[in-house]
Amino acid sequence: MARKLAIVTGASGGFGLEIAKLLAADGYDLALVARSEAKLNAIAQELHARHGVDARPIVADLAVVDAADRLFTEVSHCDVLINNAGFATNDRFDRIAEDRITQEIVLDVLTLTKLARKYLPAMIERRDGKILNVASTAGLLPGPFMAVYYACKAYVISFSQAIAEELRGSGVTVSCFAPGAMETGFAARANAGTTPLFSLPRANPAKMAKTAYRGMLRGKALNIPWPPSNWLVDIGARFVPRGILIPISRKAVERKE
């Protein structure tokens, strides 16, 4: 019997790599997608050697408009889709280059949405499949100085919960994982490493991956993990007046000039 196949975007490090390790340990063949060819090749070789699975590196920039179409041409089906790739930009909105804003929205929203649309029909036909969309607690509230990223992750949460409900009883599950800050290269790429939020202790991506993976296997629609500070963000977003909440959100990620 052929092994099931999982696609993992943003698989060259951090959370994506840790999810790929869990999938490989469970016997999934892998399509590992990221921009770094050298890293992907090394990871694919390691996972094959350790678990005996086929791990195919796919070098792709998912921040271009037709990225999902290209990936679907290379990998025409999957049993598990991990939509993990994403990035943020920390700056006042009017100072951010327009092409970077476009790339951020394409990667964080458009590519994620199109990949789900491309792989879902076959999953539904088989009555078997799982999608994990990686969001953030950032999606629970507005985020001055990371406005585009917070808005993108709000979309991911809303989109994921909606289609999870649409697919109830279909045999296919959609899960959204919304962690807080993790110890990955995310903050450095966003130019947010010295902000108050990212100066605090950050979650271990391996531990977060295990939590996300267990939630996906259970079909948990929205998974906000430990520590309790993440749950406080959720509660605050629901009950704290916006006039109080948004200035607090601003202070968490605003850089000192």
Catalytic annotation, residues: 149
**Rounded to the nearest 10 degrees, what angle do helices 147-166 and 98-105 cross at?**
20
* 181-to-50, 169, 195 alpha-carbon distances in Å: 29, 33, 12
- What token pair was written down for 83? 């939509």
* 185-to-26, 155, 198, 220, 246 alpha-carbon distances in Å: 26, 23, 11, 27, 26
Closest CA to 4 of 92, 112, 82: 82
CA dist 178 and 133 (Å) reads 9
